[in-house]
Amino acid sequence: MKQILIIDESVMFREYLRYKFEEKNLEVSIALTLVDGTSKMRNIVPDLIIMDFNMNRQGSMELLKQKKADINTGNVPVIILSQSIDPKQLIELVPYTVKKVFNKPVKVDSFFATVSELLGIPFNIDESPCIAEVHVNDNTIFVEIARGLNRDKMDLLRFKIVELITIYDIKIPRVIVMLSNMKLSFADAPNMQKLLDTVIQASKTNLRYIRILTRDTFVHQFIKGQKEYDGIEVVSNLQYAVNDILSGVDNRLPQSIRKAELIGDKILQARNREDTEAMALKFETESKNVSFELMKDYMQNIRVAVIDDDFVIQELIKSTFKKNKAIVTSFYNGDDYLAVLDDEEFDLAFLDINMPKTSGFDVLKVLQTRNIKYPIIALSAVAQRETMIKAVKMGVRSYLVKPLNADDIFKKSVEILKANY
């Protein structure tokens, strides 16, 4: 039986791969750290190593050197996953039997094609168009599915929901599944069933806390006709869905509604997006008790930009990242930030939407023009739906409403920076 060693901090990524590999009767060993990975590499002599290069780049290179020096492991092929990697580092990897480097978010079909080639084992991957995005706002899990129902992305969805419930310590999960740009038929019934079963099993919540947001008539008919889904309500209005789902759970209803409305009515609007191959399940974090200590290796030297005219916000974000030695650069206005785009690169930016003179929207326009794609967390002092919908349309996929606190800043940053899919 062939052995695969996975060295990665990500629960979602590890468990998804374990699930796919064990379907093929492959034996999977998991290492949460590079030290553990080095030990297991020597003991089991795997047929393939899959390694997150961003856990600790210096440690990753040391593992590869030890692999090469050992006569038993020297020829074991390696697949590297990396948030970002420069050409010089790629050249350094050549002598260590690194067969492929995948940037995150990983394109799953290409990834398994490489694994299949290396192991001589075919993998059946659903390549049908589908965009799946999952995020949490105010302890409600928002799942957006667009363009179609892809079975592999449903598998990923299961692990992602569990992960988010863990990181946010959600006691009573509430889930809103938003189906956009889709017209389903009876032929889609098996995939629709898989989606619903995935949400139910992953969230382990009462069916009355699940809402399906769609205008598709087949979805209405399908759920209505299945007794096992009795309690799940299908709605066509986001505000009603949020109001309805929170009314029996959260005493802070008005605030919750205001925050959830920031998602916007754009959910049910058709969108033309070209990234059909890329797995769009993003914003991952690993730890049950998220702490700076557990994340320090990954977050070390992360480059963070803060564009906000409020000194208090700047200092709060600086102090949030201080413990893990992240590099935080502050800008009091959009012009100062835009002036350094040619000279400085960042992994993450916090952007105040409502700055005077050069607003956050002006900054986003320039970033779009320059094709700069590192993640942006929008900051706003007001929970206005129109404001945040506009930001979403300009590429912002996450936001925080002021006043901020360190815990929210850290969790949202981890969600984004540890994205695997």
pLDDT of residue 260: 40
pLDDT of residue 294: 45
Mean local confidence (pLDDT), 345-370: 88
CA dist., res. 125 & res. 123, Å (int): 6
Q: Which residues does 397 contact at the CB level (< 8 Å), separation at least 6?
A: 133, 135, 282, 375, 376, 416
Q: Is the pLDDT of residue 191 over 90?
A: yes
Tell me: the pLDDT tens digits for 133-145? Answer: 887 776 788 898 9
pLDDT of residue 271: 40
355 contacts 388 by C-beta, under 8 angstroms: no
259 contacts 238 by C-beta, under 8 angstroms: no
CA dist., res. 200 & res. 392, Å (int): 28
Ranked by mean pLDDT, the top range of 12-16, 93-97, 112-116 is: 112-116
360 contacts 387 by C-beta, under 8 angstroms: no
Residue 128: in which H helix or E strand, if any?
Answer: none
If DSSP codes are grouped into helix, strand and coil, which group holds residue 330? strand
Of residues 73 and 86, which shows the higher confidence score? 73
Residue 313: in which H helix or E strand, if any?
Answer: helix 311-322
The alpha carbon torsion through 22, 28, 32, 37 (nearest 10 deg) reads -160
Mean local confidence (pLDDT), 146-175: 87
Average pLDDT, whole number, for the chain?
Answer: 80
Residue length, the chain? 421
Bridge partners (DSSP) listed for residue 328: 304
Mean local confidence (pLDDT), 217-230: 93
Tell me: the pLDDT tens digits for 299-346? Answer: 667 889 999 998 988 999 998 887 767 889 999 999 999 999 888 888
Question: Which pLDDT band, with edges at 50, 70 and 90, does 276 fall under?
Answer: very low
The reply to whether the predicted model has a pTM over 0.75 is: no
54 contacts 83 by C-beta, under 8 angstroms: yes
If DSSP codes are grouped into helix, strand and coil, which group holds residue 262? coil
| C-beta neighbour count of 128 within 10 angstroms | 14
Question: Which pLDDT band, with edges at 50, 70 and 90, does 99 fall under?
Answer: very high
Question: Which pLDDT band, with edges at 50, 70 and 90, does 280 fall under?
Answer: very low
Closest CA to 172 of 239, 251, 234: 251
Place of tokens 């609007």: 269
Q: Output helix, strand, coil percentages for the chain, rounded to the nearest 5.
A: 45, 20, 35
If DSSP codes are grouped into helix, strand and coil, which group holds residue 146? strand
| C-beta neighbour count of 206 within 10 angstroms | 14
Domains assigned to the chain: 3-119 (3.40.50.2300), 131-268 (3.30.750.24), 292-417 (3.40.50.2300)
The percentage of the chain sitting over the pLDDT mark of 90, rounded to a whole number, equals 38
The C-alpha angle with vertex 56 and arms to 134 and 39, in degrees rounded to 5, equals 105
pLDDT of residue 293: 47
Alpha-carbon Rg for the chain, nearest whole angstrom, is: 22
